[in-house]
Amino acid sequence: MDKIPMTARGFNEADAELKQLKSVERPAVIKAIAEAREHGDLSENAEYHAAREQQSHIEGRIKELEGIIGLAQIIDVSKLSGTIKFGATVTIADEDTDEEKTFQIVGETEANIERALLNLNSPIARALIGKEEGDSVEVRTPGGTKYYEIVSVKFV
């Protein structure tokens, strides 16, 4: 399998979530299942079925996180420089509205647009890769073509 590129922050967040699931949430749901079993007839026991569903979700997420952590390739972005690549924090300005946005380009597993963490494979990130501060880029999006100027590039 291919390695999964991750920032140190992304790796630490995944590791912390895994520890939380294993040490807090898994034992809590096991206890909830045991308590629900004590109520008798399991076929009509909503608490039992809800707890089992939650257990299934927790176990699935644990397996997913273990897989991600096992394949993680942690990239120290503070040691990078030059053109835009994985880990770059990029500020772009819409050439039509002058509205600025800042994103960090990260791997798929840690991407979160609400936190300005942009998936390496997204149309904007693909257009930015290899460019430099001051360049203009054309981004083809589902809503049409947009043009951006790269205001700044940092590796922090």
For residues 34 and 48, state if they share a domain: yes
- The reply to whether 60 and 81 lie within a common domain is no
- pLDDT at 1 exceeding the cut of 70: no
120-141 tens-digit pLDDT? 999 999 999 999 999 999 998 8
Render pLDDT for 66-118 as a digit per residue (tens, 0 to 9): 999 999 999 998 888 889 999 999 999 999 899 999 999 999 999 999 999 99
Question: Does 84 share its domain with 115?
Answer: yes
The 8-class DSSP code of residue 97 comes to T
- pLDDT mean across residues, the chain: 92
Burial degree of 10 (CB within 10 A; 0-12, 13-18, 19+) = buried
Distance, CA of 119 to CA of 129 (rounded, Å): 12
Q: Domain holding 30: CATH number?
A: 1.10.287.180
Domain with 124, as residue range(s), is: 77-154
| Of the listed ranges 7-11, 16-20, 142-146, the one predicted with least confidence | 142-146
37 lies in the same domain as 54: yes
In sequence order, what E strands does 1-156 have? 4-7, 72-75, 89-94, 100-106, 117-119, 136-141, 144-154
Q: Residue 147 — pLDDT band, cuts 50, 70, 90?
A: very high
Do 92 and 111 lie in a common domain? yes
83/44 same-domain check: no
The answer to whether residues 86 and 120 touch, using CB atoms and an 8 Å cutoff, is yes
Element (H, E) at 24: none
CA gap 128, 55 in Å, rounded: 41
Do 38 and 91 reside in the same domain of the chain?
no
